[in-house]
Amino acid sequence: MADPNKPSEFSLSTFYRINADDDLGAQNSVVKIDKKLLLDANQLAIGPIISEGPDSIVYQGLYRSMHVAVKVIHPDIASTMSPELQEKFSREVSMLSRVNHDNIVKFIGAIVEPTMMIITELMKGGTLQKFLWNFRPNCPDLKLSLTFALEISRAMEYLHQNRIIHRDLKPSNLLLTEDKKIIKVADFGLAREEADDEMTTEAGTYRWMAPELFSTEALHVGVKKYYDHKVDVYSFSMVLWEILTNSTPFKGRNNVMVAYAAAMNRRPSMDNIPAQIAPLLESCWAKNPEDRPEFVKITQFLENFLHSITSPNTEPSLREAAEYSRSKRKNHDSPATNCLMDRSKLKETKKKRRSLCFRFLQCIGVHVM
């Protein structure tokens, strides 16, 4: 129904109040949520849809006159929710309530009746994915792109320090402020605390998933494998590549082909990647998780690089990036027609791996004996 108390400055055309006693088909009394985290459903007003996924819908909303985003679990799913899915909802609420970082979306609270909802701050700038789409075929400014990458890295560094793996880092889960100057990590639906034992492998989105989550042999849903927080570093490398090129990783390939390419150690093209960024990118998407840097090192690298391109000698940096791009095309190391680097054809010698590691350590200012 219409909301007669809607603030006049709020321009949403459709609004209605959620009543706690509405019958939406949900029976969620068994969901275990700290009472301190629960909000009054009668104070929440729902507006237009922001986005929709297989398990939930995200709406614009108002909570006590505060602009918010409301993630609503589909009522038909919520009404028959298994103990595993209830635990997943509780885990997402718990993790969001624990984190506090400038580059992570702010948690407001949760509602379990009449249906399960998670309320967070409203990010009016939309997703990084839509932001990039609006720039195509061009790319955003290099400084802005790397500023976004740095903010993402800082958020992920914070999560990993708190033993939280996001497991679904991608442009559609990265949100912008209204002025499009600050980016924040969102959607903790697949996040979990890092475990010392095996975890499920069907976590994430194929184009951004680390190769250790795949297998060249078929795996059944629910099969578990051992992996750690370095899966987020791989996903970050795909996001960084996407920001710098404004292209979709493995574009034109279906999920099976993407999974096979990642498992076979194929990576997106390095054409048009600034020369100084190449060692970082190659380290982050290394096949062996142990070869990937920690986010604390990635943050340090990006801070140093941003400082270098904002100093008076900016032009040489950009010129070197252009020269690197031209040399890559001339050498045909990464044909544009294929848009993949078949690294299995390269010589994977220990000498090369030491060289790559050395280049990355030099970039972040680490003295190597």
Task: CATH number of the domain at 217, please.
Answer: 1.10.510.10
**Chain-wide mean pLDDT for the chain?**
78
Residue 340 placed within a domain:
yes
Per the model's pLDDT, the better-predicted residue between 163 and 85 turns out to be: 163
- Which pair of tokens denotes residue 194? 């890092």
Does pLDDT of 195 surpass 90? no
The pLDDT confidence band at residue 222, using thresholds 50, 70 and 90, is low
pLDDT tens digits, 139-179: 999 999 999 999 999 999 999 999 999 999 999 999 999 99
Per the model's pLDDT, the better-predicted residue between 16 and 279 turns out to be: 279
Maximum mean pLDDT: which of 35-39, 54-58, 82-86, 220-224: 35-39
- What integer pLDDT is reported at residue 154 of this predicted model? 98
Query: Looking at the structure, do residues 260 and 308 belong to the same domain, yes or no?
Result: yes
Query: Looking at the structure, do residues 264 and 301 belong to the same domain, yes or no?
Result: yes
Query: Looking at the structure, do residues 136 and 284 belong to the same domain, yes or no?
Result: yes
Per the model's pLDDT, the better-predicted residue between 325 and 22 turns out to be: 22
Q: Which of 72, 87, 121 is the last residue of a domain?
A: 121
Domain count, the chain: 2
What is the model's pTM?
Answer: 0.78
CATH number of the domain encompassing residue 36: 3.30.200.20
- What integer pLDDT is reported at residue 220 of this predicted model? 56
- The answer to whether 77 and 85 have CB atoms below 8 angstroms apart is yes
Query: Looking at the structure, do residues 82 and 169 belong to the same domain, yes or no?
Result: no
| Backbone phi, psi, residue 151, to 5° | -65, -40
Helical (H) or strand (E) element with 341: strand 340-342
DSSP secondary structure of 30-48: T----GGGB--GGGEEEEE
Q: Which of 72, 90, 121 is the last residue of a domain?
A: 121
Does pLDDT of 106 surpass 90? yes
The pLDDT confidence band at residue 200, using thresholds 50, 70 and 90, is low
Residue 347 placed within a domain:
yes
- Residues noted as catalytic: 168
Domain carrying residue 65:
16-121
Per the model's pLDDT, the better-predicted residue between 359 and 316 turns out to be: 359
- What integer pLDDT is reported at residue 187 of this predicted model? 93
- What integer pLDDT is reported at residue 81 of this predicted model? 67
Provide the 8-state DSSP code for 211. G
pLDDT tens digits, 38-78: 999 999 999 999 998 878 899 999 999 899 999 998 766 55
Does pLDDT of 192 surpass 90? no
Query: Looking at the structure, do residues 134 and 262 belong to the same domain, yes or no?
Result: yes
Residue 369 placed within a domain:
no
Mean pLDDT of 231-243: 96
Q: What angle separates helix 142-161 from helix 295-310, to the nearest 10 degrees?
A: 160
DSSP secondary structure of 44-74: EEEEEEEEE-SSEEEEEEEETTEEEEEEEE-
Q: Which of 70, 95, 121 is the last residue of a domain?
A: 121
Residue 2 placed within a domain:
no
Query: Looking at the structure, do residues 132 and 25 belong to the same domain, yes or no?
Result: no
Query: Looking at the structure, do residues 169 and 318 belong to the same domain, yes or no?
Result: yes
Query: Looking at the structure, do residues 51 and 189 belong to the same domain, yes or no?
Result: no
pLDDT tens digits, 3-42: 434 433 333 345 556 555 554 444 444 577 889 999 999 9
Mean pLDDT of 87-106: 94
- Within 10 angstroms of residue 164's Cβ, the number of other Cβ atoms is 21
Residue 320 placed within a domain:
yes
Residue 10 placed within a domain:
no
- What integer pLDDT is reported at residue 76 of this predicted model? 62
Provide the 8-state DSSP code for 4. T
Residue 71 placed within a domain:
yes
Per the model's pLDDT, the better-predicted residue between 326 and 281 turns out to be: 281
Query: Looking at the structure, do residues 48 and 85 belong to the same domain, yes or no?
Result: yes
Query: Looking at the structure, do residues 43 and 150 belong to the same domain, yes or no?
Result: no
**CB neighbour class for 6 (10 Å; exposed up to 12, middle 13-18, buried from 19):** middle
- What integer pLDDT is reported at residue 2 of this predicted model? 39
Q: Give whole-number Cα distances, 352 to 25, 242, 274, 356, in Å.
A: 59, 26, 20, 6
Q: Give whole-number Cα distances, 142 to 146, 245, 321, in Å.
A: 6, 10, 11
Mean pLDDT of 234-256: 91
The pLDDT confidence band at residue 97, using thresholds 50, 70 and 90, is very high
Round to whole Å and give the CA distance between 202 and 199: 9
Query: Looking at the structure, do residues 245 and 112 belong to the same domain, yes or no?
Result: no
Query: Looking at the structure, do residues 40 and 148 belong to the same domain, yes or no?
Result: no
Per the model's pLDDT, the better-predicted residue between 127 and 54 turns out to be: 127
Per the model's pLDDT, the better-predicted residue between 60 and 194 turns out to be: 60
